[in-house]
Chain A
Amino acid sequence: MKFGILINEGPYQHQASDSAYQFVKAALEKGHEIFRVFFYHDGVQNATRLASPPQDDRNIIALWSALAKEHNLDLVVCVAAALRRGILDENEAKRGGKDAHNLADGFRISGLGQLIEAGIQSDRLVVFGD
């Protein structure tokens, strides 16, 4: 079965991203397909490669990047929500005249249409938030 995932909260503050990660891992282990993981609202903060948690804590951003690499996951960050909150890839940084970009490996920035498409294409859409 094809699952779409929506994550509405950033890492650490809420359990939403952790729960979604555990859910996605379990779904993949059961042989399901993850059509897309979409990050919205403060959920876009899950995509900053500058997050530097202490060594004895999980690095949620790195966990997502690694899972994406291993399973070829499509991790999509909403462009409007990301720009508001200072999450930029190289293109957006250039376009906005910013001196840095911070999108982590395995994530891409795109529009809200990608969320709607995930709702249409997936057999189930599961929302994790606050």
Chain B
Amino acid sequence: MSEGVIKKFMYVNRKPPYGTVYALESLEVVLIGAAFDQDVSLAFIGDGVYQLTAGQSTGGIGMKNFSPTYNALGDYDITKLYVEKESLEERGLAIDDLMEVVYEDEDEDYAEKPSIRLVSRAELADIMAEQDVLLNF
């Protein structure tokens, strides 16, 4: 472990789940990375927004539904899931079509707060520009 250094890590997700392994293996990095106490966020851009749709049901394709894992991220202090608003709109989706992902805010008596933050393309550009390490899968 590297003590003392805190960098801004962003995981940039641009692919739908299941058709390729990127979404699942990206999530595996996020979970392992959580142990390193870095400033972590996830971005969902383009087809990446499909990773967060509510009601994923994979029984028919014989693959494991890993979408519940996003809801466990709060327990690992990963609470910033940026979803690009324009990407949702271009795909005929709205925030209501996504899973509810929440975390408990320690600073506010463990009040439940949404982890998914809808941001505009311009806002996301600003957030990306602040990052130290961008991981793309």
Contacts and interface: CB of A to CB of B under 8 A. Distances in A.
Whether the complex brings A and B within 8 Å at their CB atoms is answered yes
Interface of A: 6, 8, 40-41, 80-81, 111-113, 115-117, 119-121, 125, 127, 129
Contacts of B21: 41
Given A112-B32, A120-B38, A41 B137 contact: yes
Question: What is the interface residue range for chain B against chain A?
Answer: 20 to 34
5 contacts: A40-B29, A41-B137, A113-B32, A119-B7, A120-B133
B5 interface: yes
Interface string B1-32: 11001010100000000000110010011001
Contact of B2 (A41, A80, A117, A129): A117
Contacts, number: 56
A42 B38 CA distance: 26
B29 A116 contact: yes
A6 B12 CA distance: 14
Nearest to B2: A120
B25 A41 contact: yes
B63 interface: no
B135 A112 contact: no
B22 A116 contact: no
Contacts of B33: 112-113, 115-116
B36 A127 contact: no
B111 interface: no
Q: 7 tightest CB-CB pairs across the interface, nearest first? A: A112-B32, A119-B133, A116-B33, A120-B2, A127-B136, A116-B36, A125-B133
A127 B135 contact: yes
A115 to B, nearest CB: 6
B9 A119 contact: yes
Nearest to A117: B2
Contacts of A113: 32-33, 35-36
Contacts of B5: 120-121
Contacts of B29: 40, 112, 115-116
Given A41-B25, A81-B25, A112-B29, A120 B36 contact: yes
